[in-house]
Structures are given as C-alpha cells and as structure tokens.
Amino acid sequence: MATDGPPQSYANHQKSVPGFHYVALPILMINLIYSGYVAATSFSVDSVISLLVALALVMIGLFARLFALGAQDRVIRLEERMRLHELLPPDQGGAIDNLTTEQLIALRFASDGEVGALVATVTAEGIQDRKEIKKRVTSWRADHQRL
C-alpha cells in the first residue's frame, strides 16, 4: 500500500482517523456536556432523557471503536502466529503459544530478519508492555492497515 510522508517508525506509527477523533467524538462530548448542563440547571424528564441519549451516543461511539480494534487484534494475533511459525526455527516454535496478544501485536513491527531474536528477548525477559517491545524494534516493518 502506497503511503505519503516518511517511512513508518515507532515515532510516527500511531494513526488517528480525523473524522472520528477530531469531529465525531468532540461533537458527542460537547453534546454530553451540554445535556448534563441542561439537566442540572433546568431539570425535567426531557432533559434527563436528553442526557441519557447523549451518554448512550458517546458509549456507542467508544464501543464501536473498541470493537473494531478488538477484531483487528484478533486478526493480527492470527497473522503473527502464522508468520512466526514460518520464520522461527523449530527449537523456538514453542515460544509462539506462550506469546500474549499484546506481545504479538507489538512484534508485528519487527522485520522478518529481526523477529526471531526479538521473540527470544521478549520471552526471556518477560516483556509484556507493547510500547517497550516496539521500542526494541530496529528494523521496522510498517503496518498501514491498522486504524
């Protein structure tokens, strides 16, 4: 997939969806705050219903994002397990089943040449933190599909 700008790295790999992060969520939050203000200053059944609807809309927005990320995490876990089965030597293959989803998500950024050594380091040192694993990647393998 062609991309504009500099090559992906740890410093710039995080992605935001402007329409969601900078338009929809702020509008939903402003609506929630305003509805809370109206319910507090002009209490009525209508204002409480408006507040509850505003809260439900914020929750729908957040859960839609979380559900999409959860589905992506499952796909990444599957892809990385398959990739590691192809790349790791047989004596290291047992480590694959012990890797957590968080570790696999971070390891996807390691190049094919580096991933074996990084898996060994992650398992030997018990590194669980996604950010810490990504910081240890020296030959970055871009993921432009993640939302």
Residues 125 and 92 in one domain: yes
Residue 45 pLDDT greater than 50, yes or no: yes
Residues 56 and 92 in one domain: no
Confidence band (pLDDT; 50, 70, 90) for 4? low
Residues 22 and 62 in one domain: yes
Query: Running DSSP on this structure, what letter comes out for residue 15?
Result: -
Residues 67 and 93 in one domain: no
Cα–Cα distance measured from residue 94 to residue 73, given in angstroms and rounded to the nearest whole number: 21
Residue 44 lies in a domain: yes
Number of domains in the chain: 2
Q: What percent of the chain has pLDDT over 90?
A: 76
Residue 20 pLDDT greater than 60, yes or no: yes
Residue 62 pLDDT greater than 60, yes or no: yes
Residue 67 lies in a domain: yes
Token pair 């402007």 is found at 18
pLDDT average, residue stretch 70-96? 92
Residues 50 and 96 in one domain: no
* Other CB atoms within 10 A of residue 50 CB: 18
Residues 67 and 92 in one domain: no
Residue 2 pLDDT greater than 60, yes or no: no
Residue 6 lies in a domain: no
How high does pLDDT run on average in the chain?
91
Residue 41 lies in a domain: yes
What pLDDT, on a 0 to 100 scale, did the predictor assign at position 127? 96
What pLDDT, on a 0 to 100 scale, did the predictor assign at position 52? 98
Tell me the pTM. 0.79
Segment 25-34, tens digit of pLDDT = 999 999 999 9
Residue 58 lies in a domain: yes
For the chain, what is the radius of gyration of the CA atoms?
Answer: 21
Query: Whole domain around residue 60: which residue ranges?
Result: 17-71
Residue 112 lies in a domain: yes
Residue 11 lies in a domain: no
Residue 77 lies in a domain: no
